Amino acid sequence: MTQRLTLAIAQLNPTLGDIAGNVALARQARATAAGQGADLVVFSELFIAGYPPEDLVLKPAFQAACRAALEDLARDTADGGPALLIGLPWRDGEALYNAVALVDGGRIRALRYKVDLPNYGVFDEKRVFTPGPLPGPIVFRDIRIGVPICEDIWTDEVTDCLAETGAEILIVPNGSPWWRDKSDERLQIAVARVVETGLPLIYLNQLGGQDELIFDGASFGLSRDRTLDFQLPQFEAAVSIVTYENSGDGWACVDGAIAALPDGEEADWRACVLGLRDYVDKNRFPGVVLGMSGGIDSAVCAAIAADALGPERVHCVMLPYRYTSAESLTDAEECSRRLGVRYDTIPIAGPVEGFEAALAPMFAGRPRDITEENLQSRARGTILMSISNKFGPMVVTTGNKSEMSVGYATLYGDMNGGFNPIKDLYKTRVFALARWRNGGNVAGLKGPAGEVIPVNIIDKPPTAELRENQKDQDSLPPYDVLDAILEALVEDERTVADIVAAGHDIDTVRKVERLLYLAEYKRRQAAPGVKITRRNFGRDRRYPIVNRFRDEGKVAAAPTLTAPKVKTPSTEVVDF
């Protein structure tokens, strides 16, 4: 006799702390699944609470509300419809577990606890949860289902235990955040567990943005022979029905569909769009406002915002001063027109010169320097925040990872804002994304198709336009050089000697390392932004602000493959 199991894979977008809203999503998914004959609806890790809950999960009232919600969902299942496999925090005496519950027939039938609590990179689950004991399978309608939770499959201990205690199939609820190339890494881990256990594996991942983290969905199933049974879309919600049958020689998927996953610039772009959309919508902002300078960073951020929210919810403001070129004015207006967003111009001469007049007695006898340049940026930041206060939209800040790394940004000026969609993108990547968006696939995005970023914005040399004839590369190495050094220092933690051996100029490397450390105090005050790389500033890379260490290790002579050393300008002085 053939056994049959029909699963609904609920790849959904919960909101952290919105227990009632998450329960409503679960009920909607269950109703959809019931209409398609599902036996069991599977949800992602800590779905009722949202993930990651951080210290919110320590509140007894929050724990109690999650438990009450599970009990309500359990009562729903008395109707004879699909059972639910759903995650929540679970208090048992002094222990607080990251748990998954099976509810069926009006009752809580089983609980399983996460064993391997990650405590690296963006994760700090050992801070809030107790590790569970090694689990056995859950028996669901005569089927023995192993339920390792997320990190539990990144080593073999939990899955080996489940296989040894009779599990027939593995269902893995996940809250696995995305970063570039993460999909391949997950697949390799899952394949290893299938090889070791000989069991089919269903990998269900959360969708949505949560502060800096992006959960991309991309849930999948692997057969016992390691082939892909099904693949859900990335960066999209889905409730997908998959059917497994067992004719006596193990469970096999009989009807899985395989969606294509985006990669490269498209994956980065869609992650930025999802992150900004969820940050704005889940925090209930009516829209966003940003400074539109005519440069590449603000143009890309405006395009991301239009794609995320729709042009009608995006307000771009040009804030010109005497150093703003006619070219920038034209480019900013044209980009806004192509995107279909609201565009206004507010000159800043009055406030800047007012500040200078107020400070003139105190600054008497001192030459103009970076102080006056920063007044321009801070005037712009104040105006944008005032628009936000008056009308309610969130300010989008537009600094890229290259600038954030070396402090090429002004506190309380261009760093003002609630969220930064390109915070984890180096400048060279920002250019690449602009080119992709002008010719890429915009299916599912809310902005207009076509060449939305004028080519002149992409082609012209970047400049902050805070003084006459200023260019970024007066102060910084060429961005291809700078970004290569920064990636070696930030993502790879390579030594100065290693970077010089790769062909970079020693003085340039030491200068970049120095600026990287000096800018830590600025980054600590920066807005959150979408995590794209393996190591973003914030949750991943936690450096002290007070830090006198410099890598003074011996450096061997090496051929210089990069551009000549840049001069040291006044803008290298950090503004404490």
Q: Which of 248-252, 310-314, 331-335, 464-468 has the lowest mean pLDDT?
A: 464-468
Q: Which of 246-260, 382-396, 469-483 tops mean pLDDT?
A: 382-396
In a domain, 56, yes or no: yes
What is the average pLDDT across 234-243? Answer: 96
Alpha-carbon gap, residue 417 to 383, rounded angstroms: 11
Q: Which of 218, 248, 278 is the last residue of a domain?
A: 248
405 Cα distance to chain centroid? 18
- pLDDT in the model for residue 473: 66
The overall average pLDDT reported for the chain is 92
Alpha-carbon gap, residue 118 to 152, rounded angstroms: 9
Instruction: Report the percent of the chain where pLDDT is more than 90.
Output: 83
The CATH number for 123's domain is 3.60.110.10
Residue 564: pLDDT band with limits 50, 70, 90: very low
In a domain, 208, yes or no: yes
User: Which amino acid type is present at position 306?
Assistant: A
Annotation says 335 is catalytic: no
Residue 557: pLDDT band with limits 50, 70, 90: low
**Residues 6 or more apart from 452 whose CB is under 8 A from it?**
303, 306, 335, 338, 339, 437, 438
- pLDDT in the model for residue 538: 82
- pLDDT in the model for residue 90: 98
Tell me the per-residue pLDDT of 359-399, one tens digit each, with 9 for 90 and over.
Answer: 999 999 999 998 999 999 999 999 999 999 999 999 999 99
Q: Are residues 186 and 307 in the same domain?
A: no
Encoded tokens for 358: 């107020």
Q: CA dihedral defined by 267, 270, 271, 273, rounded to 10 degrees?
A: 160
The CATH number for 489's domain is 3.40.50.620
- pLDDT in the model for residue 570: 36
Residue 84: pLDDT band with limits 50, 70, 90: very high
- pLDDT in the model for residue 565: 46
- C-alpha separations of 302 from 294, 388, 448, 462 in Å: 11, 16, 12, 17
Tell me the per-residue pLDDT of 31-80, one tens digit each, with 9 for 90 and over.
Answer: 999 999 999 999 999 999 999 999 999 999 999 999 999 999 999 999 99
- pLDDT in the model for residue 452: 96
* Alpha carbon distance, N-terminus to C-terminus of the chain: 75
Q: Specify whether the backbone of 531 is left (phi greater than 0), alpha (psi in -120 to 50) or beta.
A: beta
Do residues 212 and 256 lie in contact, with contact meaning Cβ atoms separated by under 8 Å? no
Residue 169 has pLDDT above 90, yes or no: yes
- pLDDT in the model for residue 556: 67
Q: Are residues 357 and 490 in the same domain?
A: yes
In a domain, 574, yes or no: no
Q: Are residues 93 and 233 in the same domain?
A: yes
Catalytic residue among 66, 114, 301, 427: 114
The residue range of the domain holding 52 is 3-248
Q: Are residues 483 and 359 in the same domain?
A: yes
Alpha-carbon gap, residue 572 to 576, rounded angstroms: 12
Annotation says 282 is catalytic: no
Neighbours of 72 (CB within 10 A): 14
Residue 20 has pLDDT above 70, yes or no: yes
Tell me the per-residue pLDDT of 107-119, one tens digit each, with 9 for 90 and over.
Answer: 999 999 999 999 8
In a domain, 370, yes or no: yes
Residue 574 has pLDDT above 50, yes or no: no
- pLDDT in the model for residue 470: 64
- pLDDT in the model for residue 566: 45
In a domain, 229, yes or no: yes
Tell me the per-residue pLDDT of 179-190, one tens digit each, with 9 for 90 and over.
Answer: 998 999 999 999
User: Which amino acid type is present at position 506?
Assistant: I
Residue 122: pLDDT band with limits 50, 70, 90: confident
Phi, psi of 64 (to 5 degrees): -65, -40
In a domain, 456, yes or no: yes
- pLDDT in the model for residue 554: 74
Tell me the per-residue pLDDT of 291-323, one tens digit each, with 9 for 90 and over.
Answer: 999 999 999 999 999 999 999 999 999 999 998
Do residues 251 and 8 lie in contact, with contact meaning Cβ atoms separated by under 8 Å? no
Annotation says 253 is catalytic: no
Q: Are residues 362 and 235 in the same domain?
A: no
Alpha-carbon gap, residue 559 to 241, rounded angstroms: 59
Q: Are residues 507 and 401 in the same domain?
A: yes
Q: Are residues 228 and 279 in the same domain?
A: no
Q: Which residue's entry shows tokens 């995006």? A: 314
Residue 567 has pLDDT above 50, yes or no: no
Residue 130 has pLDDT above 70, yes or no: yes
Q: What is the DSSP letter of 395?
A: E
Q: When comparing pLDDT for 569 and 24, which is higher?
A: 24
Q: Are residues 157 and 277 in the same domain?
A: no
User: Which amino acid type is present at position 112?
Assistant: R
Tell me the per-residue pLDDT of 422-438, one tens digit each, with 9 for 90 and over.
Answer: 999 999 999 999 999 99
Residue 471: pLDDT band with limits 50, 70, 90: low
Tell me the per-residue pLDDT of 494-533, one tens digit each, with 9 for 90 and over.
Answer: 999 999 999 999 999 999 999 999 999 999 999 999 999 9
- pLDDT in the model for residue 391: 97
Catalytic residue among 45, 125, 266, 513: 45
Q: Are residues 213 and 338 in the same domain?
A: no
Residue 555: pLDDT band with limits 50, 70, 90: confident
Residue 341: pLDDT band with limits 50, 70, 90: very high
Compute the Cα dihedral for 85, 100, 165, 240 and give only its sign. positive
Q: Are residues 423 and 451 in the same domain?
A: yes
Q: Which of 193, 215, 248 is the last residue of a domain?
A: 248
Global pTM value: 0.92
Q: Are residues 318 and 345 in the same domain?
A: yes
In a domain, 259, yes or no: no
Q: Which of 248, 277, 302 is the last residue of a domain?
A: 248
Q: Are residues 127 and 189 in the same domain?
A: yes
233 Cα distance to chain centroid? 17
In a domain, 401, yes or no: yes
Alpha-carbon gap, residue 52 to 61, rounded angstroms: 17
**Residues 6 or more apart from 116 whose CB is under 8 A from it?**
131, 151, 152, 154, 155, 157, 158
> Could you please report the per-residue DSSP string of 90-134?
EEETTEEEEEEEEEETTEEEEEEE--S---STT--GGGT-PPPPP
Tell me the per-residue pLDDT of 268-282, one tens digit each, with 9 for 90 and over.
Answer: 999 999 999 999 999
Residue 237 has pLDDT above 80, yes or no: yes
> How many domains would you assign to the chain?
2
Encoded tokens for 425: 């993108």
Catalytic residue among 66, 150, 161, 335: 150
Preceding amide of 52 cis, omega within 30: yes
- pLDDT in the model for residue 576: 34
Q: What is the DSSP letter of 183?
A: H
- pLDDT in the model for residue 173: 97
Q: Which residue's entry shows tokens 């599902």? A: 38
Q: How many residues does the chain have?
A: 576
Residue 146 has pLDDT above 70, yes or no: yes
Residue 569 has pLDDT above 50, yes or no: no
Instruction: Report the percent of the chain where pLDDT is more than 70.
Output: 94
